[in-house]
Structure 1
Amino acid sequence: MSWQLVLAGLLVGFVIGLTGMGGGALMTPILVLFFGVNALVAVSSDLVASLVVKPVGAAVHRHRGTVHWRLVRLLCLGSVPGAFGSVVALRLLADPAAVARITQIGLGVVLLCAVVAAVARDVLDRRGRPATDTVTPKPVPTVLIGLVGGTAVGLTSAGSGTLVIVCLLLCYPALAPRTLVGTDLAQAIPLVGAAAVAHLIFGDVQFALTGQLLVGALPGVAAGALVSARAVGAVLKPVLALVLTFSAVKLLGAPTPAAFLASGGAVLISLVAETSRRAGTLSRG
């Protein structure tokens, strides 16, 4: 048992419970950059851990009635085959060394997209729109959102808690934030399950690693959910922008000074976006 891995799981779990951000965007780069875990093993093991953690949040939203089940079904039509198929296609078409490299580069790209998506979400949230828990589904765009999100999660374990939510927000601007999160969490269970099964088939998962992450992540998620407050989440946003941008740039092979420079820019943009969102909220109130 490595207390460092348990602590990493605890911290990431706490952030997931506090902000709703997907664990793949945080845990996978931590495993690769700080623990030296092979990118493919990190993605696979994190997916299996997420498969245990995701239902906890989804169960809460189901109990509260903040899951749009028709959207969940449409998203799964794209996300499940996207997640499973992307893993199988990559493993069949490339040798193990190339797969690990492609996975690492893909993770870096998805993390950068996650930072952009988080800023876009703040910008979109300041629009004066009526919030509703029911919308009329748009089948084709929703299935495509699921396909893109599923492919990203299958290859990198990241993207569900950021990319899918922002795409849903663009497609359904009137959908209430609580229902956006609940719907995403519900569809993420079969999505992550499909990706995890594909990685299990090829023997990529290290269960010892997954188990140590879960020892910390499960109580971390519960603690984060209990402490959850908008003010605390707002404070964490610039920190997450810094961590995700630094991790992304390093995964893409850039030198450390460039990673710090890019991270500083991301923090500044995040602060401006959060300030703008708060100003918009106050003006509507």
Structure 2
Amino acid sequence: MDLAYIIAGLAVGFIVGLTGVGGGSLMTPVLLWFGINPATAVGTDLLYAAFTKCGGVIVHQRAGNIDWKVNGWLTAGSVPAALLTVLALHVWHPDVTTLNALIKHALGIALLLTALAIVFKTRLLALTRGKQATSSDSKPSLPLKTVMVGVLLGVLVTLTSIGAGAIGTIALFLLFPLIPTARLVGTEIAHAVPLTLIAGLGHAGLGHVDWLLLANLLCGSLPGIWVGSHLTGRVPDGALRPVLALMLALVGLKLVW
């Protein structure tokens, strides 16, 4: 079974590198398909995301594609929200059946939101970039709005491991239409690392991380991401994203209902 996990990590890593779609929205459903219980799937995937995105932070920082001020606003909301969510799970300490049911429903909703974000990303981006506006940084309400987005992502990511990629990036597109796309993507990747690491360690404290499974996934995903990133642009984005969105929507509907 170890080989199957390595192949799964390779496939997901390749797709993430090729399309930019967040690993959580793909890896967690794959782990559920393998029969991993929802709590362990989420906890393991959170640490998987933290390790794999570290490399992305290095690349984007070298390219100057991280806005550390925006990243700070997001982190100010997401990290405390993640800590409080983990604390609530520790204090509540629900039985396995109840926790898995909670995570399944939250995961289903997150997958549906991610599918919508993938489908409407281009339209939303065109809409926001087409607005006549002064510099986004001059709006006094932006820091508060960004912190609130961070809070929502902190809760969602901690419960489901999904949201930091597609949903978080779309939120940044809407809030900061004048910032280049590459810079927004790099900022969200940098924000995802501490968020997924803290949430993942919190789940590890609850016993929701399979360390051997994590190692197998990383063995496959790291070369997969490298290969996929070098093929970016050669496969039509318009062909891949609808297929991914449909797959995530079907899984999400199944989990919710």
Give the TM-score, by structure 1 length.
0.83
Q: What does 1:211-222 align with in structure 2 at a 5 Å threshold?
A: 211-222=215-226
Tell me what 1:236 maps to: 240
Q: What does 1:45-124 align with in structure 2 at a 5 Å threshold?
A: 45-93=44-92, 94-124=94-124
Tell me what 1:188 maps to: 192
> How far 1:134 moved relative to its partner?
8.2
Contact 1:120 1:166 in 2 (8 A): no
Tell me what 1:169 maps to: 173
Deviations 1:141-170 (A, max 9, x none): 010011111111100000000111111111
Q: Flag structure 2 segments of 5+ consecutive residues without an equivalent.
A: none
Alpha-carbon spacing, 1:187–1:136, altered in 2? closer, same or farther (3 Å):
farther
Alpha-carbon spacing, 1:63–1:118, altered in 2? closer, same or farther (3 Å):
same
Contact 1:133 1:176 in 2 (8 A): no
Amino acid at match of 2:252: A
Mapped to 2, the partners of 1:135 and 1:182 lie a distance apart of 18
Tell me the C-alpha RMSD between the 2 structures. 2.0
Deviations 1:189-223 (A, max 9, x none): 11111101111111211101111111111101111
> How far 1:125 moved relative to its partner?
2.1
Alpha-carbon spacing, 1:218–1:174, altered in 2? closer, same or farther (3 Å):
same
Larger relative contact order, structure 1 or 2 (CA cutoff 8 Å, min sep 6) = 2
Mapped to 2, the partners of 1:144 and 1:239 lie a distance apart of 31
Amino acid at match of 1:108: G
**The one of 145, 150, 158 aligned to 2:149:** 145
Q: Does 1:224 align with 2:228?
A: yes
Q: What does 1:125-140 align with in structure 2 at a 5 Å threshold?
A: 125-127=125-127, 128=130, 135-136=137-138, 138-140=142-144
Mapped to 2, the partners of 1:176 and 1:90 lie a distance apart of 38
Alpha-carbon spacing, 1:160–1:133, altered in 2? closer, same or farther (3 Å):
farther
Deviations 1:236-257 (A, max 9, x none): 101101210111112123xxxx
Mapped to 2, the partners of 1:252 and 1:230 lie a distance apart of 35
> How far 1:129 moved relative to its partner?
5.7
Alpha-carbon spacing, 1:54–1:228, altered in 2? closer, same or farther (3 Å):
same
Amino acid at match of 1:36: G
Mapped to 1, the partners of 2:208 and 2:154 lie a distance apart of 18
Tell me what 2:7 maps to: 7
Amino acid at match of 2:118: A
Deviations 1:63-98 (A, max 9, x none): 000111000111000111112221321343232221
Mapped to 1, the partners of 2:119 and 2:231 lie a distance apart of 23
Alpha-carbon spacing, 1:71–1:112, altered in 2? closer, same or farther (3 Å):
same
Contact 1:68 1:134 in 2 (8 A): no
1:188 aligns to what SS in structure 2?
A: helix
Mapped to 2, the partners of 1:227 and 1:133 lie a distance apart of 34
Alpha-carbon spacing, 1:135–1:119, altered in 2? closer, same or farther (3 Å):
farther
> How far 1:13 moved relative to its partner?
0.4
Over the matched positions of the two proteins, sequence identity in percent amounts to 38
Give the TM-score, by structure 2 length.
0.92
Tell me what 2:210 maps to: 206
Mapped to 2, the partners of 1:189 and 1:252 lie a distance apart of 28
